[in-house]
Amino acid sequence: MDGKKELGKTKVCFDKWSESYDKSFLNYILFNRVQKKVKSLLPNLENKRILDAGCGTASLIINLSRKNPNSDFVGVDVSKGMLEKARKKAQGLENLTLLMSEISELSLAENSFDYIISTISFHHWPKQEESLKKLHGFLKPKGKLIIADLSTFLFGGPGTVKKYSPSEMRELFLKTGFKNIEQTSATNTGKYGYVSMSAGIPLAAYGIATGNPIGYFSSLLFAGGFILSMPDLISKITIGEK
């Protein structure tokens, strides 16, 4: 796939989306929930340096910056519109720097970050392997890269370059120099959605077969369970150490 062409689509899409992004339905059911899980994977961030690659409107990195005033944060994105929104939200934060760049062209000091994070952005990167090698160089020894991204053929949107399955992502991490690879679910609550979906299917079938109104209520139970578990069904978090 032509990475430059897809990068152009990504910029156009997210520039247009920037005004409504923070209030979008996807933000509530997917992005915010995955960001919450990524945040839970970060231990004490006192006196650390953290990079958010593909930060969007920077909700996650702004939240972390406010809670950790003695640490330094950098957010990077290719969308001018997203960064304009992020800068408005980040006014007054002296420990946060926001940059516009494609990740493979990013110029930062080697061995300077304790953590690099990315949430539902990697499938848009035009030079994915090259970008991971660059992020590996930015990390301090023992530093960690945490990428949460789509892992199925579903979804993606304009500008999608490639989505990796969990096994493909593991191989890519190893290929680009990372070790001690771990993978985990995209949220802490998806399991409850699976329970709701599992309960909804047989109850809905019973209700439809017998004409019992329980079938309609069970359909809602299934739908609610799907929404709750959706991030875990379509995405995965991969963690690698330098």
| pLDDT digits (tens), the chain, 242 positions | 545 666 667 787 888 878 888 888 778 778 888 999 999 999 889 999 999 999 999 999 999 999 999 999 999 999 999 999 999 999 999 999 999 999 999 999 999 999 999 999 999 998 999 999 999 999 999 999 999 999 877 666 777 889 999 999 999 999 999 999 999 988 876 555 455 555 555 655 555 566 666 655 666 655 655 666 666 777 899 999 99
- With a CB cutoff of 8 Å and minimum separation 6, the contacts of 5 are none
Interstrand relation of 179-184 and 235-241 (parallel, antiparallel or unpaired): antiparallel
Question: 72 phi and psi, to 5 degrees?
Answer: -110, 140
CB of 49 closer than 8 Å to CB of 139: no
Same domain, 41 and 19: yes
pLDDT at 138: 98
H/E run at residue 169: helix 166-175
CB under 8 Å to 197, separation ≥6 — which residues?
A: 222, 225, 226, 229
- Do 19 and 139 belong together in one domain? yes
**Judgement on whether residues 117 and 209 belong to the same structural domain of the protein:** no
Domain check: are 45 and 121 in the same one?
yes
Identify the domain containing residue 176 by its residue range.
3-186+234-241
Q: Are residues 179 and 206 in the same domain?
A: no
Co-location of 194 and 169 in the same domain: no
**What's the domain count of the chain?**
2
pLDDT score of 2: 45
* Gap between the terminal Cα atoms of the chain: 29
* Same domain flag for 111 and 217: no
Q: Are residues 45 and 131 in the same domain?
A: yes
Looking at the structure, do residues 120 and 222 belong to the same domain, yes or no? no
